[in-house]
Chains A and B, each alone.
Chain A
Amino acid sequence: MKSTYIIIAAIIVIVIIIGGVFAYISLSTPASTPNPTPTPTPTLSPTASPTSTPSTSPTPIPSTTPSSTPTSAPSSTSTPTPSATTLNVATTTSLHDTGLEDTGINGDTTGTIKAAFEAKYPWITVNFVALGTGAAIARAEAGDADMILVHSPSQELAFLNGGYGVDRKIIAYNFFTIVGPANDPAGIKGMTNVTQALIQLYTAAQTNSQVQWVTRNDASGTATAEQNLWKAAGYTNFNSLLAQTSWFHATGQGMGASLLVANNGIGGGSPAYILSDMGTYLAYSKDANIPQLTIEIQNQKALLNVYSAIIDNFQNGVLSNTHFYAAQTFINYLVSTEGQQLIANFGTSTYGQQLFVPFVPLASGTAPNATLLGWIQSYAYMSYNTATNSAIISASGTECPTQFRSYADDMYTPSYDTVANINLYTSITAPNYYSTDGQQILLAQPAPTLSSGKFYKA
């Protein structure tokens, strides 16, 4: 009898210990995060505007007048070589899984961002942590990443308004695509109105068991975009769609895994329709992993997919250890002519199609396309609402409201070297359209005038 009591007591103690540990962890995590007071960083517009105005005029000067060469050369040499820094980038899987960032195509890493950037900035080691957009933002909010590369404006907005991010910069865009079985049982192939297509698909699915849909539903940028599409089509309650399990299937997995599910069909049924990003779809098609799926709808306004970079706000106490300067250097590289061209050319020879379209040529007017720019502005531009003290999506805004810019200097000055012939989206044919060091002035600028050393911390 006595031993029974001891055993019961021991079990209770163990349960209390385990429960205590979990409770402590679950309670301490939100407690240690700061109150998401929408306190944007101190606006540095007075310092930013004087530096940006002169910087626009010297930019063309070095290429024309020889006198600027001695001035630019000392500025690049006098830049103190910072100590080695590791930059952790939490990135969306659709950018990462094409191989653009570090893995390359078929193991060839020569044309990747990591290889090119580290060759130019040897003191920065850049690491990519591949996650869905939701998870990537969560890592950055915990200070476990120095910046994010994501594609979901609504989630980016929450990140900025929470006081976690500064200096948002749009780096590239492409289009989502709706893929599905070749025989197209819902009859949506080639439709230009995505809303109408989804309504037609929904209606067909009620009677035709061949019409199936696979959704990721994993808080990723693609899943968020898809939910917005269904909302726009009038199906505002996504949970009621998820409840229709006879044709609406949620995988909760990444893009590749979900494409495979759609390709194989559920329970041996017909292959399903699915919203996919272009990169993953092309990569999977190339290797003949998804032979049942063909492109049904593409290149529509509603399917726009915009990739942005946001730096952790180091002035938020929790994020004070993040590497702001390295992250800014990285973004400045991505939007430089060299970085933009690298993005444009990636995968073209392998896939026969451009995966990502650089944004800066479009925004700077080098490759004007008013329609396309208008689409992107209404989808991903932001302005500051002084009444609510927060950023909102607004076509009349900018890439990043000035209230959320921190030591931005001329990050937002449109700058792209003249391109002889740039064909948007389809292909870029001229590989030598930038001068070798056209962006040096922008990139070799000294560190921001802050307590120096802080941002070089390894």
Chain B
Amino acid sequence: MADIIVQSFQQAINLLTSGNPEIYATVYRTIYVAGVGSLLACVWSIPIAVLLGLYNFKGKWVVKGFFNALIGIPTVALGLLMYLLLSRQGEFGSLHLLYTLNGIALGDALLVSPLIISFTANALGTADTQLRDLARTLGASGLRTNLKLIRETMWSMILSITAAFNRGFGELGIATLVGASLLGNGTIFSGTRVLTTAIALETNFGRFDVAMAYGIILMAIVIALALTLSLIERLREEDGLHVKLTFWRGLGGS
């Protein structure tokens, strides 16, 4: 079995250098559904998160607990629900989203919404307790305080969106049930085969090394994304430090 893992790294390189447009399309499709899905989710998730994070109302903990629980929703369960709704006989069958990338993206958006809401609301809540009083003492209005708080938690929001992207990137249930893993002809919108369904399919064929190779490609992209974000965060911190130092020197400090 160990040699299969070694082989699969070789196989991953072979796949990427083979020049087969369908393999690149598979990668692009995965990025497309996860990206569009997370961005779409932001449209409604961020306002809800702001509402949950910055405003108090009765029974807020129930709503927060509800969203926390939904983070763990099984992708196959949501995929099945999406299939029933998007099926030609389903309630939204007229949208013709079944077996399309946009259908998967919509499913991903629903899948990752609770994750974005919970993480962002928590970050806002934490910042709220620390900063609100300070801002108010300094004379900021209610709206300005809230805007300031949202700016302060921007980085946490980006991280939660990244986590959402990764969940959409690596999910299988929705892509299988809504997308059905249709083989394309090398262009993005010609098929619905994404990396995870390609892994499942190759496993069915018994070609474990190729399946593993797709897994390696998937992980490489996820890791690359995470490292890039870490790098940006690090640069941002250094930059902030640099600004502070200049400011300090400007005041005559050493």
Contacts and interface: CB of A to CB of B under 8 A. Distances in A.
Interface of A: 3, 6-7, 10-11, 14, 25, 28-29, 32-33, 88, 93, 97, 99, 102-103, 106-107, 109, 114, 125, 127-130, 142-144, 254, 256-257, 280, 283-284, 286-287, 289, 318, 321
A107 B98 CA distance: 26
B84 interface: yes
A128 B183 contact: yes
Contacts of B88: 142-144, 321
Contact of B58 (A3, A142, A143, A280): A3
B89 interface: yes
Given A7-B59, A103-B205, A144 B87 contact: yes
25 contacts: A7-B62, A10-B59, A14-B62, A14-B66, A25-B81, A28-B91, A29-B89, A33-B89, A88-B99, A93-B204, A106-B207, A125-B190, A127-B180, A130-B180, A130-B181, A130-B204, A143-B89, A144-B98, A256-B205, A256-B206, A284-B206, A286-B206, A287-B207, A287-B208, A289-B206
A128 B183 CA distance: 8
A287 B212 CA distance: 14
A318 B89 contact: yes
B201 interface: yes
A28 B85 CA distance: 11
Contact of A107 (B20, B58, B181, B206): B20
A28 B87 CA distance: 12
B87 A129 contact: no
Nearest to A322: B88
Contacts of A143: 87-89
B78 interface: no
Contacts of A25: 81, 84-85
B126 interface: no
Chain B interface bracket (under 10, 10 to 19, 20 to 34, 35 or more): 20 to 34
Interface string B80-97: 010011011101000000
A127 B98 CA distance: 13
A289 B84 contact: no
Contacts of B205: 97, 99, 103, 256, 283
A107 B22 CA distance: 10
B181 to A, nearest CB: 7
Given A10-B62, A106-B207, A283-B205, 18 more contacts: A7-B62, A10-B59, A25-B81, A99-B205, A103-B183, A103-B201, A107-B18, A109-B183, A125-B190, A127-B99, A142-B87, A143-B89, A144-B87, A144-B88, A256-B204, A256-B205, A257-B203, A287-B207
A441 B234 CA distance: 70
Interface of B: 18, 20, 58-59, 62, 66, 81, 84-85, 87-89, 91, 98-99, 180-183, 190-191, 201, 203-208, 210
B15 to A, nearest CB: 8
Nearest to B209: A287
A49 B31 CA distance: 54
Most buried by B among A25, A93, A254: A25
A398 B67 CA distance: 58
A207 B208 CA distance: 36
Contacts of A286: 206
Contacts of A88: 99
Given A143-B88, A144-B87, A11 B62 contact: yes
Most chain A CB neighbours (cut-off 10 Å) among B87, B180, B201 = B180
Contacts of B204: 93, 97, 130, 254, 256-257
Q: Which 5 A-B pairs have the closest CB atoms?
A: A143-B88, A284-B206, A129-B180, A127-B182, A102-B183
Contacts of B87: 142-144
Contacts of B59: 3, 6-7, 10
Contacts of B84: 25, 29
Contacts of B207: 106, 287
Contacts of A321: 88
A25 B85 CA distance: 8
Contacts of B91: 28
B183 A114 contact: yes
A87 B190 CA distance: 13
A93 B200 CA distance: 13
Contacts of A144: 87-88, 98-99
B16 to A, nearest CB: 13
Given A10-B59, A88-B99, A318-B89, A287 B183 contact: no
Contacts of A287: 206-208
A33 B90 CA distance: 10
Given A6-B58, A103-B201, A127-B99, A283 B206 contact: yes
Contacts of A128: 182-183
Contacts of A114: 183
A62 B187 CA distance: 40
Contacts of B201: 103, 130
B81 to A, nearest CB: 8
B63 to A, nearest CB: 8
B207 to A, nearest CB: 6
Q: Taking each of B20, B201, B207, which has the highest tally of chain A beta carbons within 10 Å of its own beta carbon?
A: B207
Nearest to A254: B204
A54 B197 CA distance: 49
A24 to B, nearest CB: 9
Contacts of A254: 204
Contacts of A10: 59, 62
A14 B89 CA distance: 27
Nearest to A28: B91
Nearest to A143: B88
Contacts of A283: 205-206
